Each structure stands twice: as structure tokens, then as C-alpha cells.
A and B are shown apart, each in its own frame.
Chain A
């Protein structure tokens, strides 16, 4: 492989694997909210709670 191709492949794979690792790390470890049904937080974070879109 040429250096350019290696760089592009490395950047692409790093971006994708970094994104998926970060997302699943947050999903599996950062349970900052009570999560009774396992789907998501029961209470919204403060930033969102201050807003009421309805």
C-alpha cells in the first residue's frame, strides 16, 4: 500500500472506531440518570430540562 492510502485508511478507521467506541462507552458506563426500563434516562439532563418545547 502507498503511504497516502495507509494514511487515508488509518484516518477513516480511527474516526469510525473512535466514534463507535465513544458511543458504546457512553451507553454502557455513563449512566448518570436513573434508567428503569433500560432504554434511556428517566430524567433529562439539566440543560434539556430547562427547555420546554411544547
Chain B
């Protein structure tokens, strides 16, 4: 079982099957955002107008980035590099390349820590649903209070319950990760993704056939709320940015995890069809299922005006306050509530296990550590910093990480990898690389899109968000989670930023040590590894 060797030459893991690979990739992409963020964004950004800009962003940004990330990852795998510093160094033979890749180490680690904490809420609420623990909180305000009590931010409440569920969730994540690609992540995807889709389909059907609510509204009016074509909003930059941002988050691009998964493929394997299949699976979960559950259910029980207020109050209120109120009014509501939060849990865990994959790959490949040791060690790191997210939630600590790593950082990494893969590596090489072993021929227009349109689109988003949000947040003019940054939040917010900077410094230092230890020559590049002897671990 143990296959670790020294000098950056651990034998590579591999996927057990093509469908397992696609389920794992789709599991990585399908997350909480598909069921909570998407319907909210569609509802508050003009419905039909949002859908037009959303599909344009999917074609010009999402799918091209999906191919770019699969390409970057699979190319890294040729040199047995499952981490961004190695993948970037394989593309750009320059000493700076490996340090640019450090972005792809900081982001997944930071996001994994707070994402696992949010994921633990879904596990907790699955339990609270089946045991009817929140039954009796029949208004939106009461459920918000229940959620805040669970989070330990309501006056007189304790963090202990949230801490307990976080520990359990983290342990499951690390255990799966320690089992490896084929034995852990792929098996989780093979179990979790079908459950997720079955639960989502059942809930969508239940919502669609709900009887009219107190105000006479039906779920179909909820769908109208999402799909209503309001063309007057097409000229608003905010709508275009919102849809581009949603495409970005929903496909889990700019994270470093897709690339790590793709590095376990050989150059004879297809990535063109696999990439589009992954994106299409994610879109089914998002547009067909995600759009049919939360907002339509909210419209039935709270009316269009109430649902709009719910949507504007945020994704978490929609998922953790509005939906439990709805479930309490339905027959078998506790079972339906369990299914809702369980599907969110599976959506979350199939994403969070992916996030530490590049970190594990780095320590295995460059330092020869055993996968289990790296996984459990970083489990402890996640626990330590996860505690900060739990205890300092009310001071904006999590929001700060979510902005810099989970929002701005994703676009920064995507811009970097797109420029490196399409411009430095050259479009011809990138195009041929994506088509090696391909089952389909990608329409040639996408070569132009990936070379020019996608990077310009990304740079525009980065610039806009930088001007609109990053600078005001950095200068403490506004809080990363929205609203005003109070003086008592300042130390926590500054601490959150310093920790991210600390992660960057530590990873850059480790990359430097790894390159020296393994005697890599930045200008000569890596030696290609024979992939014929892949072993499934």
C-alpha cells in the first residue's frame, strides 16, 4: 500500500474509473452555492436577464476555464506534480513560476478550513431536522435566532454544539482524504453524488407540487420569480459581474483542486469530454435542481415579496432559516428537512475533500511524506484555524477569509493560470495538450475564446472587484461580509489577513526548500515520468 519514495518521486495515484473521475470532479464543483447562492443570485439580478448573462459567462468563462484547469493539471501530472507550484513550473521555465503557484496552495487550504465549518452546519441541521430539534421556531426571525444560538453568536449561547459538529465533519473529511484518490475521494463521490441527486430530485418534485400557500402563490410563481425576463437590467454591469461570479464559484475553478484531480490522469486519457461532462453535471445540479427548490418553496410560503426579502437577506438565511420554516409546515417535514441538509452536506463534503488534495500532493511528491500523515497533520492545522472561525465568527473573521481567499483569490489564480497556460505555454501547445487523448474535437472558436476572451473577461472582473470591493475592504472602509466594520472587529480582521499572509510566506519557504532538496533546475524543467506504470492506491 505504501508507495512513498524520496526525492519527489512518489508513485502516482490514479482514478479507478472514468465515471468515478467525473463524479469526483462534479462533486468538487457541485457545492453549497448550487443550491443556496444560485437561486438567490438569479432572483435578485433580474431573473431572465441574469440567465442570459449566466449562460454567456458559462460559455466564455466557465467551460474554457474548466478545460484550462484540466489541461494545467494533466500537464503537471506528466511530471508527477499534483500541486500548482509544480504545475506552473512545468509550464513556465522561470524561477518565479513556482512562487506564483503558491497562490494555489493558500487558497484551497484557507477555503477548506472555513468551508468545512459551514459544511458542519449542514450536518448539524440534518440531525436537528430528523430529531425535530428546531420544531416550534415557525417564523423566519425565530429560525435566524436558532441558527445564531447554534453558531454561539446569540447572547448567552455556547459554541460547543457547533464545535462538536465541526470536529465530526473535519474528521470525516480527513479520513476520506487519507484513504487516497481511488480508495477515498472516488468512493465518496460514487456514494455521495447519487444520494445528492436523488434527494434533490425528490425535493424539487415535492416543491413543484406544493399546494398554494397562505397567499395563494404556487411554486410555478416561484419559478417565474427566477426566470422572469427583465431585459432592462442587461445594461447593468452588476448583473454581468454577478453571473460571472456565480459561474466562477459554481464550477470551483481558481481553487487548485480541479488541477490536482486532473494530475492523476495520463496523457492518453481524455480531458476534453470529461471537462464538459463535469461542467454539464454541475449545471444540472444548479439550474435544474438548485433553481427549483429554495426560492420556489419560499415563494409558496412567504409570497413573492417575502421571498425577495429572504433572497436579499443572504444565502444562509435562505438555507438555514427559511427552508426549516417551510419544512415545519409540510407532512414528513422532518424527513424532507433531513434530505435538504443531507444533500447540502454531500454537496459540501465532495468539494471540501478536494481542497486539501493539492496540499497532500505537495508534501507526498516533494518531501516523500505518507499521505495519511499529511492528511491528519493538516487536519490538525484545519482544527486550529477552524476554531478561530468558530469563536470569531461574529467579528468578521470568516467573512474576511471568504473574501480574500474564496472570492478575490479565485479570480487571481484563474487569471494567473490562464495567462501562463494560454500565453506563456502558447495557445498551440495548450490546444494540443487539451486534445491529447481527447474523445471529442473542441470547436476551434474556443481556442480564440481561451486565448483572448477568457483572460480579458477575468482581468475585467479582477479589476472591477478590486476597485469596488478589495480596496475599500483593505482600507477598512467596509466589512468583507457587507455592512460597517466596527472598531472591535479590527483586530480580528487584521489577524485574518495576517494569517493568510503567513500561509503565503510558509508555503513559499517550503516550495523553496522542496526545489533545493530535489535539485530542480527552474530553467531546465522537470523530467517527464513514465505514466505507464500507474498504480491504483
Contact = CB atoms under 8 A, between A and B. Distances in A.
B433 interface: yes
Contacts of A24: 277, 280
Interface stretch (B123-131, B218-226, B347-355): B218-226
B114 to A, nearest CB: 30
Interface string A1-45: 110111111001101110110111011001011010111111111
B90 to A, nearest CB: 11
Given A4-B229, A5-B224, A17-B284, A26 B435 contact: no
A31 B159 CA distance: 53
B441 interface: yes
B224 A45 contact: no
Contacts of A8: 47-48, 51, 227-229
Contacts of A1: 220-221, 223-224, 227
A44 B436 contact: yes
Given A30-B439, A33-B439, A53-B432, A40 B17 contact: no
A23 B270 CA distance: 13
Contacts of A26: 273, 277, 439-440
A39 B281 CA distance: 17
B336 to A, nearest CB: 23
B22 interface: yes
A46 to B, nearest CB: 10
B21 A39 contact: yes
Contacts of A13: 287-288
A41 B220 CA distance: 44
Contacts of B229: 4-5, 7-8
A48 to B, nearest CB: 4
A42 B280 contact: no
Contacts of A5: 47-48, 223-224, 227-229
B30 interface: no
Contacts of B227: 1, 5-6, 8-9, 12
Looking at chain B's contact residues, is the secondary structure mostly helix, strand, loop, or mixed? helix
Nearest to A2: B224
B228 A39 contact: no
Contacts of B226: 9
Contacts of B335: none
A23 B280 contact: yes
A48 B437 contact: yes
A41 B288 contact: no
Contacts of A43: 268, 437
B268 to A, nearest CB: 5
B432 A52 contact: yes
A45 B223 CA distance: 43
B310 interface: no
Contact of B273 (A12, A20, A23): A23
A11 to B, nearest CB: 8
A16 B288 contact: yes
Given A41-B439, A48-B438, A27 B18 contact: yes
B284 A16 contact: yes
B467 to A, nearest CB: 31
Contacts of B281: 20, 23
B15 A48 contact: no
A2 B304 CA distance: 15
Interface in B4-29: 14-19, 21-22
Interface of B: 14-19, 21-22, 47-48, 51, 55, 220-221, 223-224, 226-229, 265-266, 268-271, 273-274, 276-277, 279-281, 283-284, 287-288, 428-433, 435-441
27 contacts: A1-B227, A2-B224, A2-B228, A4-B48, A5-B48, A8-B229, A9-B227, A13-B287, A15-B55, A22-B280, A23-B273, A23-B277, A23-B281, A27-B273, A30-B439, A39-B15, A39-B17, A39-B265, A39-B266, A40-B268, A41-B268, A41-B270, A47-B435, A47-B441, A48-B438, A53-B429, A53-B433
**Nearest 8 pairs of A and B residues by beta carbon:** A40-B270, A40-B269, A48-B435, A53-B432, A20-B280, A51-B432, A23-B277, A53-B429
